[in-house]
Structure 1
Amino acid sequence: MGAVGRGSAMMVALVLCFMVVEMADAATYTVGGAAGWTFNTVGWPRGKRFRAGDTLVFNYNPGAHNVVAVNKAGYDSCKTARGAKVYRSGKDQIRLVRGQNYFICNFVGHCESGMKIAINAA
Structure 2
Amino acid sequence: MNKMSAIGGVMAILMVLQCTEAVTVHVVGDGLGWTVPEDSSAYQNWASTNNFVLGDILSFNFETNRHDVAEVAKGSYETCTSNNTIGTILLTGPTNITLNRAGEHFYICTIGQHCNGGQKLAINVSTTPSTTGALPPSTGAFPPSTTTTPPPPFSAASGSALASVALLLFSLFMGIAF
Fold shared by both chains (TM-score > 0.5): yes
Gaps of 5+ in 2: 1-14, 127-178
- How many Å apart are 1:24 and its aligned residue? 3.8
Query: Take 1:19 and 1:105, find their aligned partners in 2: how far apart are those partners?
Result: 37
- The one-letter amino acid paired with 2:67 is H
Residues 23, 53 of structure 1: 8 Å contact kept: no
Give the alignment partner of residue 54 of structure 2, picking from 43, 46, 52. 52
Residues 39, 114 of structure 1: 8 Å contact kept: yes
Count residues in correspondence: 105
TM-score (norm 2): 0.54
Residues 76, 84 of structure 2: 8 Å contact kept: no
Query: Take 1:20 and 1:63, find their aligned partners in 2: how far apart are those partners?
Result: 39
Which one has a larger percent strand, Structure 1 or Structure 2?
A: 1
CA 1:120–1:19 in structure 2 vs 1: closer, same or farther (change >3 Å)? Answer: farther
Residue 3 of structure 2 is matched in structure 1 by: none
What is the RMSD computed on CA atoms of the aligned residues? 2.0
Residue 88 of structure 1 is matched in structure 2 by: 91
Residue 106 of structure 2 is matched in structure 1 by: 102
List 4+ stretches of structure 1 deviating above 6 A: none
TM-score (norm 1): 0.76
Larger radius of gyration: 2
Query: Take 2:121 and 2:85, find their aligned partners in 1: how far apart are those partners?
Result: 19
Q: Equivalent pairs: percent with the same residue? A: 30
Please state if 1:118 is matched with 2:122.
yes
